[in-house]
């Protein structure tokens, strides 16, 4: 029996899913015959989408995509960035710009047997208001920052339900916020998006989507940027709403662990094509296509700890994991970082002229040894990034001290040669106006490394080669690289000044699973080669388990648990740590992960 969803056996899990389907189908009042073979709610047939390019032939991004979504079911659309998942979803909703995107004449998107591609704009708009809803990946980007939650949700309510009275709109908005589990909904109506947490913002997006009473809800990566506990809450909410509203869900994600917990059917896409599809119980246990097997294998898990992760090559096949450079030292190691009693608070603007002080981090301390990794976990607001910025010298602690033994007591400018930081978003952390050569030689120049421009460029090339790139990248700009390549450049930029400590603040959370494996392996290789110490911050507990030697668990600015990684994961003592581990998606049967 295998553990799925934290506590169910494999067989019990799938029985649970079948029971859920039966309840949902009963809610739809389908006959017994229809339950055996229900009429599809949505059928996508031979979908081909191309983007027009000035002075060049159209770029085909989706080709020959076929799948169906039965009523009241959940179908998962799985694939990495560029696979065509979001383009497929936008094609269903007819939201692609007609001036730039072309859907082939032979393609069909059937809604209860009618081709949506033949609908007029007015008819399609009416269908979106009445029967279709969508949750976008980034709620912070999807919500207008200058309008209150009440104004934005109220607009959806008016358009969907045709309510004209302001009192009725407010009442319906309050009902929707309560329905998606937002506490004190009356106060939230007057709040702006930036005043809500990421999970609250996503709940607002769900409230706006279900205001149409949709038969089909399209959820495009709705939990990607969320902490594991918030992710679990959103997944639970979606299942409850599905039962309550008797709706189907098209769930778009790159996380196969989530797929196993929510979906009955899965469609795997790569480079615009469907490479495999079928029931989750079959695809996740015995995948037929090499790319599906690769996706299942290259992501770290809580139970399997290889020295290096297997990776996916350019053809979508699995590259076996390489062995590490050798056994790690088990003797006493020198300490390279000492944090003693540091704390941090911020002044928060209240109503009118009132101000209050928010304690972001209570006094804490720890040490980090040479060549080792300290993993820091906790949900948003726990103080992880505040701690990282204090160690990096970006923030000054209110109390306590930070030492780097062996290199004296550095000032703020000298700290750069001892600690560097890799940020979460490689698209924002690199100056778009600088070439790669400028990005890598600037820190060398500021630290006085190298006798001239030529020597600094030579050093930059060495670091590019160290992170798996070459000198051809020197004259290119950040936008010309993929997300994984940009993160490699960001790592190379940090290493140019030869730091002893590298801080990774959610540095792989925005990457696809295959690119994530490449970057994690790279960090492990660099650690072995350079005896580099890592302060590794992430909300992904499986990734932290793969990387970390020791764990520090933060909750509301306080350390609630610390210890050796294997001990914390195997025998968590604090209820919050237990809650974090219980919330980790484990929908992939262990047999699909290569474990017995």
**In a domain? residue 15:** no
Tens digits of residue pLDDT in 62-105: 999 999 999 999 999 998 888 899 899 999 999 998 888 999 99
Q: CA gyration radius for the chain?
A: 25
Whether 454 and 535 share a structural domain: yes
What pLDDT is attached to residue 150?
Answer: 92
Last residue of some domain: 270, 297, 324? 297
φ, ψ at 72 (rounded to 5°): 60, 20
Whether 278 and 369 share a structural domain: no
C-alpha torsion sign, points 526, 527, 531, 533: positive
Collect all residues with Cβ–Cβ distance below 8 Å to 376 and sequence separation of at least 6.
384, 387, 388, 535, 536, 537, 538, 551, 552, 554
Please give the mean pLDDT across all residues of the chain: 84
**In a domain? residue 474:** yes
Whether 222 and 206 share a structural domain: no
Contact present, 344 and 357 (Cβ < 8 Å): no
Q: Report the alpha-carbon distance of residue 382 to residue 394 in Å, rounded.
A: 18
Whether 531 and 504 share a structural domain: yes
Contact present, 284 and 592 (Cβ < 8 Å): yes
Tens digits of residue pLDDT in 370-380: 999 999 998 87
101: domain range?
A: 40-131+218-297
Helices 149-161, 198-210: crossing angle, 10 deg rounding = 20
What is this structure's pTM?
Answer: 0.78
**Whether pLDDT at 120 is above 60:** yes
Task: For the chain, give the percent of residues with pLDDT over 90.
Answer: 42
Contact present, 553 and 379 (Cβ < 8 Å): no
Task: Count Cβ atoms within 10 A of the Cβ of residue 425 and give its class: 0-12 exposed, 13-18 middle, 19 or more buried.
Answer: middle
Instruction: Calculate the alpha carbon distances from 436 to 422, 442, 492 in Å.
Output: 16, 10, 10
* Of 326, 324, 332, nearest in space to 305 by CA: 324
**In a domain? residue 596:** no
What pLDDT is attached to residue 108?
Answer: 96
What pLDDT is attached to residue 420?
Answer: 92
**Whether pLDDT at 107 is above 70:** yes
Q: How confident is residue 38, by pLDDT bands cut at 50, 70 and 90?
A: low
How many CB atoms are located within 10 Å of the residue 332 CB?
Answer: 7
**In a domain? residue 303:** no
Whether 537 and 456 share a structural domain: yes
Two structure tokens written together for 593: 């992960």
Last residue of some domain: 185, 211, 237? 211
Whether 85 and 142 share a structural domain: no
Whether 254 and 269 share a structural domain: yes
Whether 431 and 348 share a structural domain: yes
| Total domains in the fold of the chain | 3
What pLDDT is attached to residue 309?
Answer: 86
Query: Which whole number is the average pLDDT over 418-432?
Result: 86
Last residue of some domain: 148, 177, 211? 211
**Whether pLDDT at 203 is above 80:** yes
**In a domain? residue 188:** yes
Locus of tokens 């940027």:
225
Tens digits of residue pLDDT in 429-488: 899 999 999 999 999 988 888 788 899 999 999 999 988 888 999 999 998 887 778 888
Whether 482 and 547 share a structural domain: yes
* Of 8, 15, 134, 20, nearest in space to 74 by CA: 20
Tens digits of residue pLDDT in 566-595: 999 999 999 999 999 988 877 665 444 444
Whether 518 and 582 share a structural domain: yes
**Whether pLDDT at 398 is above 90:** yes
Whether 106 and 145 share a structural domain: no
Q: Report the CATH number that the domain containing residue 254 is assigned in CATH.
A: 3.40.50.300
Collect all residues with Cβ–Cβ distance below 8 Å to 593 and sequence separation of at least 6.
296, 297, 301, 303, 304
Contact present, 416 and 443 (Cβ < 8 Å): yes
Q: Report the alpha-carbon distance of residue 339 to residue 536 in Å, rounded.
A: 15
**In a domain? residue 28:** no
**Whether pLDDT at 324 is above 60:** no
Helices 483-495, 453-466: crossing angle, 10 deg rounding = 130
**Whether pLDDT at 185 is above 90:** no
Contact present, 184 and 231 (Cβ < 8 Å): no
**In a domain? residue 271:** yes
Longest CA–CA span in the chain (Å) reads: 81
**Whether pLDDT at 351 is above 70:** no
What pLDDT is attached to residue 524?
Answer: 92
Whether 77 and 199 share a structural domain: no
How many CB atoms are located within 10 Å of the residue 224 CB?
Answer: 16
**In a domain? residue 309:** no
Specify whether the backbone of 201 is left (phi greater than 0), alpha (psi in -120 to 50) or beta: alpha
Q: How confident is residue 229, by pLDDT bands cut at 50, 70 and 90?
A: confident
């Amino acid at each position: 029996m295998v553990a799925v969803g934290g506590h169910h056996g494999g067989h019990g899990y799938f029985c649970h899913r079948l029971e859920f389907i039966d309840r949902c189908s009963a809610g739809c009042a389908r006959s017994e015959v229809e339950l055996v073979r229900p009429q599809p709610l949505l059928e996508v047939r031979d979908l081909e989408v191309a983007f027009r390019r000035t002075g060049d032939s159209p770029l085909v991004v989706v080709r020959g995509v076929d799948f169906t979504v039965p009523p009241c079911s959940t179908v998962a659309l799985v694939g990495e960035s560029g696979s065509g998942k979001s383009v497929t979803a936008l094609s269903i909703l007819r939201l692609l710009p007609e001036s730039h995107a072309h859907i082939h004449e032979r393609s069909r998107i059937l809604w209860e047997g009618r081709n949506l591609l033949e609908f007029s704009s007015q008819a399609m708009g009416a269908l979106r208001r009445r029967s279709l809803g969508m949750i976008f990946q980034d709620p912070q980007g999807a919500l207008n920052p200058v309008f209150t939650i009440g104004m934005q949700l109220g607009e959806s309510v008016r358009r969907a339900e045709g309510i004209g009275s302001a009192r009725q709109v407010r009442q319906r908005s309050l009902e929707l916020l309560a329905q998606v589990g937002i506490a004190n909904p009356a106060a939230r109506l007057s709040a702006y998006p930036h005043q809500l947490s990421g999970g609250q913002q996503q709940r607002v997006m769900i409230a706006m989507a279900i205001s149409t009473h949709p038969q089909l809800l399209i959820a495009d990566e709705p939990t990607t940027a969320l902490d594991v506990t918030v992710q679990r809450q959103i997944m639970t909410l979606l299942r409850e709403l599905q039962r309550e509203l008797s709706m189907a869900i098209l769930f778009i994600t790159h996380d196969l662990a989530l797929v196993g917990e929510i979906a009955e059917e899965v469609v795997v896409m790569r480079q615009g094509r469907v490479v495999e599809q079928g029931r989750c119980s079959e695809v996740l246990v015995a995948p037929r296509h090499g790319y599906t097997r690769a996706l299942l294998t290259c992501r770290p898990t809580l139970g399997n700890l290889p020295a290096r992760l297997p990776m996916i090559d350019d053809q979508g096949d699995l590259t076996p994991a390489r062995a590490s450079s050798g056994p790690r030292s088990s003797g006493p190691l020198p300490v390279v970082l000492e944090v003693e009693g540091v704390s941090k608070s911020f002044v928060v603007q209240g109503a009118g002229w009132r101000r209050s002080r928010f304690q972001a981090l209570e006094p804490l301390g720890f040490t980090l040894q040479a060549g080792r990794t300290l993993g820091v976990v906790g949900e948003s607001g726990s103080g992880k990034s505040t701690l990282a910025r204090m160690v990096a010298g970006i923030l000054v602690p209110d109390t306590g001290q930070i030492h780097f033994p062996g290199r004296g007591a550095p000032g703020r400018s000298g700290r750069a040669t001892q600690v560097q930081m890799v940020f979460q978003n490689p698209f924002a952390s690199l100056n778009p106006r600088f070439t790669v050569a400028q990005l890598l030689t600037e820190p060398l120049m500021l630290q006085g490394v190298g006798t001239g421009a030529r020597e600094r460029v030579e050093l930059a090339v060495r670091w590019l080669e160290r992170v798996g790139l070459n000198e051809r990248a020197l004259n290119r700009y950040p936008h010309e690289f993929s997300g994984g390549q940009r993160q490699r450049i960001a790592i190379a930029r940090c290493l140019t000044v030869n730091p002893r400590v590298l801080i990774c603040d959610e540095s792989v959370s925005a990457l696809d699973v295959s690119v994530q494996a490449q970057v994690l392996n790279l960090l492990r290789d660099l650690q072995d080669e350079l005896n580099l110490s890592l302060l590794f911050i992430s909300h992904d507990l499986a990734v932290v388990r793969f990387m970390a030697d020791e764990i520090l668990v933060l909750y509301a600015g306080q350390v609630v648990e610390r210890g050796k990684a294997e001990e914390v994961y195997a025998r968590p003592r604090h209820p919050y740590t237990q809650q974090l581990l219980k919330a980790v998606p484990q929908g992939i049967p262990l047999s699909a992960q290569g474990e017995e």
